[in-house]
Amino acid sequence: MTLAESVWEVVRLVPPGCVVSYGDLAELFGIGPRMVGHAMAGLDEPDVPWWRVVRADGSMATHLLGEAREHWLAEGIATTDKGVRIRLHRADLGALADAAERALGSLPGLG
């Protein structure tokens, strides 16, 4: 499994109504947020809830904002002009890490 596929698998584990930042995911994998961004930019899996991954301030790339907003509203995620209220909707990172390790095995950032 490639790094990108592993990132996508963890994104699938983020519960509806919750978000994580690129940095949150980066910590799990022991990599930088830009590498997570690169993995997400190459997304080619239709079942990955990409809208649940946002910047550290809750914002989203402008070209994705309209479509992401539809998903956020459907999931009850409070929005701002540029994204979401990440402090209100951040996933339980400990639970996500546990689920990720069950799905993928030991992750470098958790070792």
Looking up residue 30, the CATH number of its domain turns out to be 1.10.10.10
Let me know: does 23 contact 62? Beta carbons within 8 Å. Answer: no
Q: Quote the pTM value.
A: 0.94
4-44 tens-digit pLDDT? 999 999 999 999 999 999 999 999 999 999 999 999 998 98
Domains in the chain, number: 1
36-85 tens-digit pLDDT? 999 999 898 899 999 999 999 999 999 999 999 999 999 999 999 999 99
Cβ partners under 8 Å of residue 15, min gap 6: 91
The residue segments making up the domain with residue 65 are 3-110
DSSP alpha helix (H) spans, 1-111: 3-13, 22-29, 33-41, 62-75, 86-89, 93-104
